Each structure stands twice: as structure tokens, then as C-alpha cells.
Amino acid sequence: MSHRTRVGVLRGGPSNEYEVSLRSGAAVLDALQKYHENRYEAKDIFIDRAGNWYMGGIPIVPETAIHSVDVVFNALHGAYGEDGKIQSLLEHHCKPFTGSGSLGSSIGMNKILSKKIMNDHGLKTPHFHEFTSDRVSKDADTIVKEMFQSFLMPAIVKPASSGSSVGVSFVKYYDELAVALREAAKHGSTVMIEEYIPGIEATCAVVEGFRGQDLYALPPIEIRPANTFFDYDAKYLGKSEEVVPATFTNKCKLAIEDLSKKIHNALGLRHFSRSDFIIHARRGIYVLETNTLPGLTEGSLLPKALRAVGSDTHEFVGHVIELAIKNR
């Protein structure tokens, strides 16, 4: 048999999105083993919550694991896997990997920095204030008084650098704000209070070099959460209705697709990304945030959008690996 490309699938990790990453990685391994076994040799690289690395269940130092494969499929989510740290390590060892590079990853993970860049590019995002988690832990009540004078409720309170809606709260009244601030502060060094914009939620993924296009937009998905916003339970416990293709007008769909491409380029992202939006009836489309490593579980949004255009996860996996190899 001719040499197969060794693909190391990184999954797990020390973040709050550990369980989601395990499932995303399992989906990638399944795709490689069932549909690409003649071309790729899948290697399961598991990182536990403490940051210890394993290959095939055997403890291994990161450098050895990295040099044991030809290319890495990054299925990590959240801190370490999505914020530029693992990307920096892979770049240091000149190992090709899927997803955005270290700079794009760190920008995409930082909601405040990415919002500022979007605003610089003329992309509408909700108004916000930021506070250090250290100040929140020491002086949350004073922050609440400041917000009472300058910020209207309701609002969304979230960590500035996290995913999967971990630590995110919908706050209706000022007396709920301190609790929400302290909760968000547990999940990052900076907390953001963001204007709540009522409307229809949507998400749209883009993939580079797919179906003959430099940057291909998958169909926007309309999200109808059972709760006020698309929280962790809605995303991963089936507590939402996700309509794909969305019921938006064609003009609205095209606008969302165009915005998703613009965001991907503005943030300097690579290979693929997925951006979230809120559509207000009068104020138009607002960008909420961008995910540089969207989930690949059976219930994740990106696979649903792929299926809507006659594709699937295993085609996507093979395509992205080839992008990584070409970008080396």
C-alpha cells in the first residue's frame, strides 16, 4: 500500500468545551476511518482536562505527537485550542494544521477585539462595555451603578473570550446584573456587557476553496431557541429549532452570506469559519460573533448546513485537510 498521509486529530483540551471537542474529534476520526481510509491514516491525539497529551491512549509529549503525523486536524474548542495557543505551537514546529493561524485565532476568540475590527470595516455589532474580571470580582456593585446611568436593560453579559455560550447570561433587570457579571468573570479575564437586540438569530458558515469558489458561503441557518437566546442548552441539548435553509427573503440570505465572507476576511481567518447574526425588523442585520472552529458534532450547525447543499462532514474533513497541506 502506498504511504497514507498521517492525520493527527486533536481533541479534548483544558477548556469548558471539552465534551463538545471530544464529540467533534470523534466525528472527524469517524469520517477519516470510514470514508478516507485509503488516503489518510487517522491518529487520535487526546488532551485531557489537565493538559496531558495521549496518542492512541498512551501518554506522549506534545512535540513527539506533533512530529508523529504529517498534518493536524484541530478539533479543539475554547481556550488553548481556539485562542491561538495550540496554533502557535504547531506553527513553531512547522506542522500544517486545519483552521485559522495563531493570529486569526486569537483575534476571533477575543470578542472585544473582533468587534472593534468589525466596526472598523463598517460591520454593525451591538453596543458594548468591557470590564476586567478582576474588577468585577472586587467591585461588581459599582459597575452595576455605572451601567444604571449609561446602559439600558435588557443586556447580554458574557466572557470576552469563550465559546458555546459558556458563562453567558441574559439580564432583564439591574438587580440581576451583578450575579451575571460574576458568573462571566469565572470564564475569562475580561467581561463584556452587550446591548440586547431583539430579533431573529441566524448563523452562516464559509469554506475556502469549496465547490470552485475562493470563499463559499453555506446556506444561512435560522435559529429559533426555546429560551431568550441561543445558549449552551439550545446548542447542544436540542432546545432549539434550527431551520436550514432559512425562511429569510433571498435578499436577506445573500446579505448574511456576504457579511460572513467579509467577516472571515476582515479577521484574517483561514479555511473556514461560522458567524452569528441577529436580524432586527427595523435596524437590519447585526454581527454577534464569529467562531473560528465551529463544532462538527451530529447536532452542530456546520454539518447541518453542509447537508443542506448535498455535502457532508466527511467531504468537509477531506477538503479542509487538503487546504492545510496546500497551505504548509
- Residues annotated as catalytic are 17, 164, 236, 274, 276, 289, 291, 295
57 grid coordinates: 491512549
224 grid coordinates: 429559533
- In one-letter notation, the amino acid at residue 27 is A
Beta bridge partners of 225: 240
Alpha carbon 295 to chain centroid, angstroms: 7
Q: Which pairing describes strands 5-12 and 71-74: parallel, antiparallel, or unpaired?
A: parallel
| Peptide bond just before 154 cis, omega within 30 deg | yes
310 and 32 in contact (C-beta within 8 Å)? no
CA distance 51 to 42: 21
Residue 197 burial (10 A CB sphere; 0-12, 13-18, 19+): middle
CA distance 241 to 260: 21
119 grid coordinates: 466596526
User: Hey, how many other C-beta atoms are within 10 angstroms of the C-beta on 17?
Assistant: 25
CA distance 28 to 25: 5
List Cβ neighbours of 38 (8 Å cut-off, separation of 6 or more): 4
List Cβ neighbours of 2 (8 Å cut-off, separation of 6 or more): none
